[in-house]
Structure 1
Amino acid sequence: MDMSDERVIDPQGAYTWDGWGTCLSWWANTELGTRDDLAAALFGLDTVEVGTAGLPGLGLNIVRYNLGACTWAPGSAMVESPAIVRRKQIETFSDGAAWNWSADIHQRTMLTKARDAGADIFEMFSVSPPWWMTVNGNPSGAEQGTQDNLEFQYQEEFARFIAAVARRARDAWGIRFASVEPFNEPSLNAWHARQNQEGCHFTLGAQEAVIEYLRRALDEHGLGDVLIAASDECHYTDAADTWQKLTESTRRLIDRVNVHAYERDEDCRSRTRLRKTVGETPVWQSEYSEGEPDGMAMALSIGRDLRHLRPRAWVCWQPVEALDWGLLDGVYDDQTPNPAGGAKGTLKGRVGGVNTKYHVLAHYTRHIRPTSRILDSGHTNTVAAHDAKTHRLTLVTANNGPQQTITYDLRNLTESTTAAHTWVTDTDTSGTRRYTREPDTQVHAGMLTVTHARNTITTLELNDIQP
């Protein structure tokens, strides 16, 4: 059965797009962080050979760097969770006694490769304070997930530590962090000493104290232009609750709200509430991931975010990961933790295959470029954007049901008769199109009618659109 629909593309209320990005932990903590082909595929726009696959470069322009929490110096008192594996432990730059600026070589290598491939916005985020600042010496969390694990006496030193690394990155690495994020899902009760990754719970009062110290430390390090993002909560609901509870003086120090997309929120009430709660404060969707390889869930989440949350950026958590969580399938040597303590693994890794969602994401990242304006499409499943520099209008539609014919009303932008360049990806396993160029679709007097096959992602791109 063919469903029919009409969507009016409206530039009223449009907002500016910062871009698309990814985090470097944990994949770039392995030897994958040294690979030129992965840097080119993720951050460039050319076609790249990754193994035997020719992939369209995604052109991600935002990189989130994970500031580490672990050291292994002789005599170190760091405590390791019995559930953690080696690639999920990020090496830090200080053991409390001395600085080691040669640490974390793989992530730092990918930082510069990403920059050279085209990335231009960098953010540093902390998952846990360095282990020696924690209550129990364990960067996976306190003994109980409801307990803060940053020692009260180290709140200011933690902020100074973040600022010192940001200054070092600017002066020695050639990387200017535009923003820093001192927390990662701080309201969750999941960060405890037996967790399978690093993490740290922060009460509201601890968050407020660290944010105040951090602004002061950044300014003292000559980094007054570096923004503070917070609080990187796991769910939209948590982010709204945290923002409402923060004091007004703390809110004034926060330049952007970061939030993760692990709340499915299909009716978009939580996204809408967060957008309303933070008002005009900019938002980034700073971490998204799931274990569905076909990419449809990701596409639907992007559409819901951009229509109801109105973030300025969308960030993938793990582009190379096992069990279908990645855009690319990551194969690592540390899949089994060590219950007796002492994380297993040697930071080796390889790419085992390409998930369809790599090609799905290409529809968005390659065609909706930074500084574009996100327009109202009239529907969650269609993302519309206009690039004033290239005069290009882009429509990306996710059709997660039966075949559907959609008429796009473009008359608020153009009444011309022209052609729309077309790309399609089939998310069904029976389909073979993977970001495949299809014949142009004709626009007649500003009206564009397209029949979308079932379970497809379609990009339509129109040139010479100057509203």
Structure 2
Amino acid sequence: MFYSIAAALLLISGQLVLGDYIINPSTNWGVWQGWGTSLAWWAKAFGTRTDLSKIFFTTATTSYNGVSVPGLGLNIVRYNAGACSTNTYSGTSMVKSPNIKPARQMDGFWLNWASTDPTTSSWNWNVDANQRAALTNAKSNGANHFILFSNSPMWWMLYNKNPSGGANGTENIQSWNYQDHATYLATIAKHAQSSWGITFESVEAFNEPSSNWWTSTGTQEGCKIGASTQAQIIPYLRTALNNQGLSSTMIAASDENTIDIAISTWNALSSTAKSSVNQIHVHGYQGGGGDRVTLYNTALSQGKKLWNSEYGDSDSTGVSLASNLILDFRWLHPTAWVYWQVIDVPGWGLLEGNIDAGTLASFAQKYYVLAHFTRHIREGMTIIDGGGDVVVSAYDSVNHKLIIVAVNWSTTSQYLNFDLSKFGGVVNGATVPRWATSMTSGGSRYVSYPSDTVISGTRFWSNFGPNTIMTFEISGVTH
């Protein structure tokens, strides 16, 4: 699937080549800002582990349980402002869902409504130590984009005091607390800057807010917040950030679950709210569906950055991940991409483990599939047209390096041919380093082949095994 019907068919050594993929440097689908992960919930359990931070946030090779693991080199961190606390104030305390797991209860800093002053006993800055440790560990390992987001307002801002959601998925934030929610997030952003050494470049006040599955019996924090209410909170957030001296801190919205909901929500926001939003963030749970082109064009026409700020799937092989990532690069054109939980249950986790039990297992095949993108397509590169629906390309204009990531979805081996004729500086006979991973359980994992691929004229080709992803680096090319 996904083969370019315009590609010419070639024969190399008697095998079918699925055409010329002409890499086009004249296209510009955005300057890449990076790759990331959310910290909640894995960081609540493992946030103090410096070895894991090194694996996720550097490109160094690190030993883990006797296995050498190539670091992902993530540089974006999505930090969750918690909504839970165990205190009682004026006879009122939090109501806990009977189904929420402890690892998914994130401690919040604003304990009660008595005072907005963060130096009073209404606030406790000592909670959430492990997630904060993961935040600072990530910075120490090179992370440079920090995002503050909220799954739910603090429990006491809610009608039913339950941060998992309202009865039957109804909107749960009290109308008189819209401004308080904005104040809460802005106060955290200011405190992080002054006390943690972390500057949040953007703040997300909502998380999948239009979805109706946030109920009082839910398994995590969440809150239904409709578009009309979002439109009221967003300007409050802009004012609250400005009042904290954070006028340069951006607002991101609305972190909807799917592309199509993101389009509907954006269209429903008021012009005032839209003007306060700097980045449109969307989640990737629509998989291969959704009108990626319309959302991209909407962001482009409004002058907004577009990020896929959360993606996850239950396919441990990496097939789903690679497929949806390529669709995003080719049609959505985000300038950043964030995986939900780097540590999670088998299927979902890049590193499989049990967050509640605090136990870790092994790295999934999908970890190595993602490494093909994160280790090679780096911040500052320009995303360009790879010539077909199985190819992603990025160009580093500073170091004159071209990156190609390509996939053979077939159950049989196939040659793919890459045409570099639109570039200058292509050297006949030059070697092209490549890396390969099989997207099958137990298959090869990010194997390096430094010198077996050679440019012939202005082309090179490689034999892809079944369900195999490969990355190529071509140095010294110009345009």
TM normalised by structure 2 equals 0.91
Classify the secondary structure of the residue corresponding to 2:137.
helix
Classify the secondary structure of the residue corresponding to 2:134.
helix
Classify the secondary structure of the residue corresponding to 1:419.
coil
Separation of aligned partners in 1, 2:374 and 2:262:
26
Separation of aligned partners in 2, 1:74 and 1:203:
29
Q: Deviations over 1:110-150 (max 9, x none)?
A: 000000011000000000000010110000001121x2111
- The one of 78, 81, 86 aligned to 2:102: 86
What's 1:272 paired with?
293
Task: Give the superposition deviation at 1:457.
Answer: 1.0
- The one of 74, 94, 100 aligned to 2:124: 100
- The one of 408, 431, 437 aligned to 2:448: 437
What's 2:471 paired with?
459
What's 2:254 paired with?
231
Separation of aligned partners in 1, 2:388 and 2:78:
30
Percent identity of equivalent pairs? 38
What's 2:4 paired with?
none
Contact 1:51–1:351 at 8 Å: present in 2 too? no
Contact 1:240–1:278 at 8 Å: present in 2 too? no
**CA separation of 1:349 and 1:247: change in aligned 2, threshold 3 A:** same
Q: Deviations over 1:23-65 (max 9, x none)?
A: 00110011x1110111000001111122232110110000000
Bigger shift: residues 60-69 or 396-405: 396-405
Q: How does 1:93-242 map to 2 (within 5 A)?
A: 93-96=109-112, 97=114, 98-145=122-169, 147-242=170-265
Bigger shift: residues 227-236 or 439-448: 439-448
Separation of aligned partners in 2, 1:299 and 1:212:
37
Separation of aligned partners in 2, 1:110 and 1:192:
29
Separation of aligned partners in 2, 1:265 and 1:41:
29
Bigger shift: residues 41-50 or 433-442: 433-442
Q: Deviations over 1:234-264 (max 9, x none)?
A: 0000001111111222111110100000002
Whichever residue aligns with residue 449 of structure 2, its letter is E
Classify the secondary structure of the residue corresponding to 2:432.
strand
Separation of aligned partners in 2, 1:136 and 1:53:
48
Classify the secondary structure of the residue corresponding to 2:349.
coil
Bigger shift: residues 3-12 or 308-317: 3-12
Separation of aligned partners in 1, 2:285 and 2:417:
32
Q: Deviations over 1:319-348 (max 9, x none)?
A: 00013201000123x4xxxxxxxxxxxxx5
What's 2:36 paired with?
21
**CA separation of 1:49 and 1:13: change in aligned 2, threshold 3 A:** same
Separation of aligned partners in 1, 2:146 and 2:403:
26
Classify the secondary structure of the residue corresponding to 1:63.
strand
Task: Give the superposition deviation at 1:276.
Answer: 2.1
Whichever residue aligns with residue 369 of structure 1, its letter is R
Separation of aligned partners in 1, 2:283 and 2:143:
21
Instruction: Indicate whether 1:371 and 2:366 are aligned.
Output: no
Separation of aligned partners in 1, 2:213 and 2:467:
35
Aligned length: 448
Classify the secondary structure of the residue corresponding to 1:353.
strand
Whichever residue aligns with residue 78 of structure 1, its letter is M
Separation of aligned partners in 2, 1:9 and 1:159:
45
Separation of aligned partners in 2, 1:118 and 1:430:
31
Whichever residue aligns with residue 57 of structure 1, its letter is G
What's 1:345 paired with?
none
Contact 2:228–2:268 at 8 Å: present in 1 too? no
What's 2:307 paired with?
284
Structure 1: which 5+ runs fail to align? 335-347
Classify the secondary structure of the residue corresponding to 2:47.
helix
What's 2:421 paired with?
411
Classify the secondary structure of the residue corresponding to 1:443.
coil
**CA separation of 1:430 and 1:79: change in aligned 2, threshold 3 A:** closer
Whichever residue aligns with residue 395 of structure 1, its letter is I
Separation of aligned partners in 2, 1:34 and 1:50:
16
Separation of aligned partners in 2, 1:125 and 1:68:
9
Contact 1:215–1:253 at 8 Å: present in 2 too? yes
Separation of aligned partners in 2, 1:457 and 1:171:
44
Q: Deviations over 1:204-247 (max 9, x none)?
A: 11101110000011011000110000000000000011111112
Separation of aligned partners in 2, 1:81 and 1:364:
38
What's 1:44 paired with?
58
Query: What's the Cα RMSD here?
Result: 1.4
What's 1:447 paired with?
459
Instruction: Indicate whether 1:427 and 2:439 are aligned.
Output: yes
**CA separation of 1:466 and 1:3: change in aligned 2, threshold 3 A:** closer
What's 1:56 paired with?
70
Contact 2:365–2:440 at 8 Å: present in 1 too? no
Contact 2:408–2:414 at 8 Å: present in 1 too? yes
Structure 2: which 5+ runs fail to align? 1-14, 115-121
Separation of aligned partners in 2, 1:37 and 1:398:
31
Contact 1:2–1:403 at 8 Å: present in 2 too? no
**CA separation of 1:331 and 1:430: change in aligned 2, threshold 3 A:** closer
Whichever residue aligns with residue 396 of structure 1, its letter is V
Task: Give the superposition deviation at 1:409.
Answer: 1.1
Separation of aligned partners in 2, 1:305 and 1:383:
10
Task: Give the superposition deviation at 1:430.
Answer: 5.3
Classify the secondary structure of the residue corresponding to 1:12.
coil
Separation of aligned partners in 2, 1:83 and 1:430:
35
Classify the secondary structure of the residue corresponding to 2:168.
coil
TM normalised by structure 1 equals 0.93
Task: Give the superposition deviation at 1:429.
Answer: 2.8
Separation of aligned partners in 2, 1:144 and 1:233:
19
